[in-house]
Amino acid sequence: MVFLRYLLLCYCLLSISLAFAIESSGKTSTLSHRDTIKVALWGDQFYNDDPIIKHQEVNDTIDSMNQHDIDFTLFIGDSKSGHSPCTDKAIGEDIKTIFNRLIVPTIYTPGDNEWTDCHRINNGEYDPLERLTFLRHYFFTQAYSQGKTPIALKRQGSLGKAYSENGVFNIGNVSFVTVHIVGSNNNLATTDADCFRFSHRRKADCAKATTESKARSQKVIEWLNTTFAEANKHQQVGIVIAMHANPYFPIELAGNRYHTDFLPSLDANNGFTDFFHALIQLTHTFKGEVLLVHGDSHYFRVDKPMLNEDGSVTKNFSRVEVFGDKDNSWVELTIDKKAETLFSIRPVILPN
Average pLDDT over residues 299-323: 96
**101-149 pLDDT tens trace:** 999 999 999 999 999 999 999 999 999 999 999 999 999 999 999 999 9
Kindly report each contact of residues 134-138 with a partner whose C-beta sits within 8 Å and lies 24 or more positions away, as own/partner.
Answer: 134/88, 134/91, 134/92, 135/91, 135/92, 135/110, 135/165, 136/160, 136/161, 136/162, 136/164, 136/165, 138/88, 138/92, 138/96
**156-195 pLDDT tens trace:** 999 999 999 999 999 999 999 999 999 999 999 999 999 9
Share of the chain above pLDDT 90, in %: 86
Instruction: Round to whole Å and give the CA distance between 151 and 109.
Output: 14
pLDDT given for residue 14 in this prediction = 43
pLDDT band at 254, cuts 50/70/90?
confident
| Residue 76 pLDDT exceeds 60 | yes
| Cβ proximity of 121 and 199 under 8 Å | yes
Could you count the other beta carbons within 10 Å of the beta carbon of residue 289?
A: 20
Could you count the other beta carbons within 10 Å of the beta carbon of residue 344?
A: 12
Average pLDDT over residues 48-66: 95
What superfamily would CATH give domain 35-348?
Answer: Metallo-dependent phosphatases (3.60.21.10)
Average pLDDT over residues 64-81: 97
| Residue 13 pLDDT exceeds 60 | no
pLDDT band at 26, cuts 50/70/90?
low
pLDDT band at 27, cuts 50/70/90?
low
DSSP 159-190: TTSTTTT-EEEEETTEEEEE----HHHHT---
Where exactly are the structural domains of the chain? 1-33, 35-348
**Averaged confidence pLDDT in the chain:** 92
